[in-house]
Structure 1
Amino acid sequence: MEASEMNTSADDGSPGQAGYRRSARSPRGEARRRELLDRVTDDLAVNGLVDFSLRRAARAAGTTHKVLLYHFDGVDDLLKQAVLKLRDRRTVNAMAAATAGPPDRTLAARVRAMWPMLSGDDPGLRLLDQAIGLAMYDPGRYGWLGREASRLYLPSLVSLCPVSWSEQRKFEVAEMVLGTLRGFLVEWRTSRDAEGIAAGFEALVRALEREEAAASA
């Protein structure tokens, strides 16, 4: 299998086409790409971003870096795909917790339910919070880590808002929740101030309760 995967010529002869797009042209190629990505993602979740490289990813995937370059458009593309996969897992778990229970639960109750899914000590969660720091450290190269997080989480938070709210109000409150929770996550990873973060979270919940009360008045 690897001999064929190392053939990096595109079927249509077009140069510069991303490798994983070439491999996705067949069910077999796409299945192989997903398998490799799963292995790299699992390694990234356990070992973090430090010293991440194409060769480290190849060792984790049990293949060669040339094979990875057939399926992915370089180390940054591979990192992006793995981070997004971890974020998908986190979002699914958080939204499942937020939407469980009666449909008339308040937004404050939904945010309270999803918080443990975002703030646990699972290695994959720690890595996603490290990614925020990486985006701040080198925004030119890694700024997408923050932008993609917003694109992923913001629509989910908007969907949790009361249906009676205007779209503008939903967007404003969702932005407030996203920015506040993101700040809490960075604070937790850097200071481990559980008491202070818990107090801040309760203040956020009260702010959401007031927002909902004002909207229904």
Structure 2
Amino acid sequence: MGYAPQVESNSGYRRSTGSPRGEARRQELLERVTDDLAVNGLVDFSLRRAARAAGTTHKVLLYHFDGADDLLRQAVARLRQRRIDHAIASLSEERGPSTLAERVRVVWPMLMGEEPGLARVLDQAMGLAMYDPDRHRELGRHASAQYLPILTSLCPPEWSEDRKRGVAEMILACLRGFLLERLISGDRAGVEAGFESLLRALEREEQISAGDE
């Protein structure tokens, strides 16, 4: 892999106590680091690089964050949330598509979209989670924790929570697989064909549900 965030210890530094002022400062720093990640990716990420981007020192970052890996996780999560917010906004703009398949079609370009900064960094983050799971497993876990709620919310409200969760897991697994296939093979036509098959499966799932009522 061509990217490996550098580990830097925060031993000896006291942490932010979570006061309103301290939290506001922490959020400001996190936003600046997130913007830097969106532009420059994960290559050679370190506290010192993050400090330069945030206009502060690595000691200040260690006051607010539990080391480089903690800061990286939070910045990646914030980038991912931007993507999710875009997906939610796209649903609103479409004035409430009526079926599960239609809703997935609307959010697909945003959840697995083309925004250069978001796409590159989030792809790199998943690569780290697979390449070094002992250290970066949480990057993958946090991704699922962020994506699954929106995918669950796309399901018909009358479905049971277990059914919503199962279908949301299937959708997430398929979309991730399509993304990986697109990255590896560059076969956009094949990915789009697979995505259309997923939509047909979701249509059948919803039809079965309607027939059971």
Regarding TM over 0.5, the answer is yes
Consecutive unaligned residues in structure 2, runs of 5 or more: 1-11
Are residues 1:133 and 2:130 paired?
Answer: no
Equivalent-residue separation in structure 2 for 1:190 and 1:56 (angstroms): 30
Please, which of 120, 139, 144 is the counterpart of residue 114 of structure 2? Answer: 120
Question: Would the aligned equivalents of 1:58 and 1:68 in 2 still touch at CA under 8 Å?
Answer: yes
Query: Which residue number corresponds to residue 150 of structure 2?
Result: 156
Query: Which residue number corresponds to residue 33 of structure 1?
Result: 26
Are residues 1:212 and 2:187 paired?
Answer: no
Q: How far apart are 1:97 and its partner, in Å?
A: 2.0
Q: Check 1:102–1:61 CA distance in 2 against 1; reply closer, same or farther (3 A cut).
A: closer
Q: How many residues align?
A: 199
Deviant stretches of 4+, over 3 Å = 98-104
Equivalent-residue separation in structure 1 for 2:91 and 2:103 (angstroms): 4
What is the one-letter code of the residue matched to 1:73?
D
**CA deviation profile, 1:65-124 (whole Å, cap 9, x unmatched):** 111111111101110110111111111111222354454610000000001112213312
Consecutive unaligned residues in structure 1, runs of 5 or more: 1-6, 10-18
When normalised by structure 2's length, the TM-score is 0.87
What is the one-letter code of the residue matched to 2:156?
P
Equivalent-residue separation in structure 1 for 2:82 and 2:146 (angstroms): 11
Equivalent-residue separation in structure 2 for 1:117 and 1:147 (angstroms): 20
Are residues 1:43 and 2:36 paired?
Answer: yes
Please, which of 187, 199, 205 is the counterpart of residue 193 of structure 2? Answer: 199
Equivalent-residue separation in structure 1 for 2:65 and 2:138 (angstroms): 17
Question: Would the aligned equivalents of 1:187 and 1:193 in 2 still touch at CA under 8 Å?
Answer: yes
Q: Check 1:169–1:100 CA distance in 2 against 1; reply closer, same or farther (3 A cut).
A: farther
Structure index of larger Rg: 1
Q: How far apart are 1:37 and its partner, in Å?
A: 0.7
Question: Would the aligned equivalents of 2:91 and 2:97 in 1 still touch at CA under 8 Å?
Answer: no
Matches within 5 A, 1:30-109: 30-103=23-96, 105-109=98-102
